[in-house]
Amino acid sequence: EVQLVESGGGLVEPGRSLRLSCTTSGFTLGDYAMSWFRQAPGKGLEWVGFIRSKTSGGTTEYAASVKGRFSISRDDSKSIAYLQMNNLKTEDTAVYYCTRHNSGWYGDYWGQGTLVTVSS
């Protein structure tokens, strides 16, 4: 069974950093591209960033709202994808989801999400 489990969320002050983890099971992480999405309280869904599989170069892309502050990495040997969030702002408050992209580039599996609250 494919599973994605996010962790690492919590309350953090503006300007600080946080690292989220997406622990996967039931499939070989190395074969897949992964994305992070977020959903602010009571709002819609927003794409945050993306990492290609290592065989496709392992490169990353980011939404303009987080570019230069957030970075995505992966440790395929541990089946974990990461979202490093630096210089957090109050508007980054959201539930963060990781997703698996199949060859069709839509997200076929999503984690349950982890809440990040940025507040002083």
Partner 1 sequence: DIQMTQSPSTLSASVGDRVTITCRASQSITSWLAWYQQKPGKAPKLLIYKASTLESGVPSRFSGSGSGTEFSLTISSLQPDDFATYYCQQYNSYWTFGQGTKVEIK
Regarding 32 and contact with partner 1 (CB under 8 A), the answer is no
Q: b/e for 24-39, b at 16 or more Cβ within 10 A?
A: beebebeebbbbbbbe
Select 84 or 102, whichever has its Cβ closest to partner 1.
102
Residues 53-92 contacting partner 1, CB under 8 A: 61, 63
Q: How far is the CB of 50 from partner 1 (least distance, A)?
A: 8
Q: How many C-beta neighbours within 10 Å does residue 119 have?
A: 10
Regarding 105 and contact with partner 1 (CB under 8 A), the answer is yes
Q: How far is the CB of 15 from partner 1 (least distance, A)?
A: 27
Q: How many C-beta neighbours within 10 Å does residue 64 have?
A: 6
